[in-house]
Amino acid sequence: MVADMTSRQRVLAALRREPVDRTPACNPTSVATVELMDLAEAPFPDANRQPELMARLAATGHTELGFDTIMPVFSIIQESSALGCKIQWEQKDNWPTVRMREPIWEKPEDIRIPPDLLQHPDTQCVLKAIKILRKEFGDSVAIIGKTMGPWSLGYHCFGVEPFLLLSLDDPGKTKLCLDKLKEATVQFGLAQIEAGADALTLPDHATGDLVSGEYYARYLRDLHIEFAERLPVPIILHICGRTVDRMEYIAQTGMAAFHYDSKNQPAESMNIVKNRISLVGNINNPETLYSKGPEEVRQEVFKNLEAGVQLVGPECAIPLQTQIDNLKEIPRAIKEWHHQHTTHN
Ligand SMILES: [Zn+2]
């Protein structure tokens, strides 16, 4: 038996695949909902742009939902805004997005990381929110930051289609783009660590439906190894979709964890990664969390725990209209499962 742990200890141990008192409930991506925005009086779009509101909304993931982590970076566009992308900030019920029909760059030579990337209000907002949360929660809860990988930044700055076409036509130029963009990933990541983040989610949207496993190996594996070396906290890689064809390569990166999608079965995924990287996931969003009930959520939680998945949570940023009762069921089901297992042993 492992002695009782704080949420922070539990998460950090699970990211190192060390013993835990129970599996942590972890959200590497957003669990913000419209209901939580009302509760905290911290609605979008302001909660994406004002540090106090960002921190307040993020805190509800722990105080209301009972997760062991707090993750304040709800969107995927904070640093893209600082890079100069045009942002559609939207309203309370919608995610901010990059206007990808108005790309800012066309070729590798156009890429320029602004010297004041980290002074921009939209990157500052994240850094200040992390500081506020660190001060408020001390050592009790794991605070997770987020820095976007160069493949995702390529989509945002060049447009998805032009970037994918470039990757087909000219691997050399694509690699040059990734190499230049990676400095934004590292800079923003290091600044969040300095602000107090315990771990970083690194989404790099080489998603199952757009990009193959072979592509991952060619373009991203070495870069991801470099991130694991240059960012001195546990890194949680996030890629959506069916990804079993690249999990072998992902397991080689030295990253702490892979945040995986429900299109992959827990047991088959654990078999591929073979304890070289922790898995986080993989409760289905669009069907289970969004449109089913606590009973279905519980079954998916159990399936992950039975496979030995180290951290359990939603597969990706949850839909803003998700019922909070379904989210509360995740930590509840974890505790129940562990309770049953200790009494049986
Ligand atoms: Zn995702």
Ligand 1 centroid to 48 CA: how many Å?
Answer: 18
Ligand 1 centroid to 316 CA: how many Å?
Answer: 4
Q: From CA 263, how far away is CA 244, in angstroms rounded?
A: 9
The Cα angle at residue 135 between residues 132 and 141, in degrees rounded to 5: 100
Ligand 1 centroid to 343 CA: how many Å?
Answer: 36
Q: From CA 292, how far away is CA 53, in angstroms rounded?
A: 30
Q: Quick: pLDDT tens for 111-167.
A: 999 999 999 999 999 999 999 999 999 999 999 999 999 999 999 999 999 999 999
Ligand 1 centroid to 3 CA: how many Å?
Answer: 34
**Residue 137's closest CA among 6, 227, 41?**
6
Q: From CA 275, how far away is CA 138, in angstroms rounded?
A: 30
Residue pair 38/320 in contact by the 8 Å Cβ criterion: no
Q: From CA 307, how far away is CA 201, in angstroms rounded?
A: 23
Position 343 confidence tier, pLDDT thresholds 50, 70, 90: low
Residue 104 φ/ψ, nearest 5 degrees: -95, -20
Ligand 1 centroid to 1 CA: how many Å?
Answer: 34
**Residue 60's closest CA among 50, 70, 48, 73?**
70
pLDDT of 345 higher than 70: no
Ligand 1 centroid to 286 CA: how many Å?
Answer: 12
Ligand 1 centroid to 238 CA: how many Å?
Answer: 6
Entry field: residues in the chain: 345
Is the dihedral angle over the CA atoms 151, 116, 109, 89 positive or is it negative?
Answer: positive
Position 210 confidence tier, pLDDT thresholds 50, 70, 90: confident
The sheet with strand 311-314 has its strands ordered as 69-70, 142-146, 199-203, 235-238, 257-259, 278-283, 311-314
Q: Quick: pLDDT tens for 218-257.
A: 999 999 999 999 999 999 999 999 999 999 999 999 999 9
Ligand 1 centroid to 259 CA: how many Å?
Answer: 8
Ligand 1 centroid to 203 CA: how many Å?
Answer: 7
Ligand 1 centroid to 108 CA: how many Å?
Answer: 26
Q: β-pairing, 311-314 with 97-98? A: unpaired
Ligand 1 centroid to 207 CA: how many Å?
Answer: 8
Whole-number pLDDT of residue 342 = 80
Tokens standing for 345? 């042993």
Ligand 1 centroid to 333 CA: how many Å?
Answer: 23
Residue 262 is classified by DSSP as T
Sequence-distant (6+) residues with CB within 8 A of 76 are 146, 148, 152, 203
| Residues with C-beta atoms within 5 A of ion ligand 1 | 240, 316
Whole-number pLDDT of residue 208 = 76
pLDDT of 198 higher than 70: yes
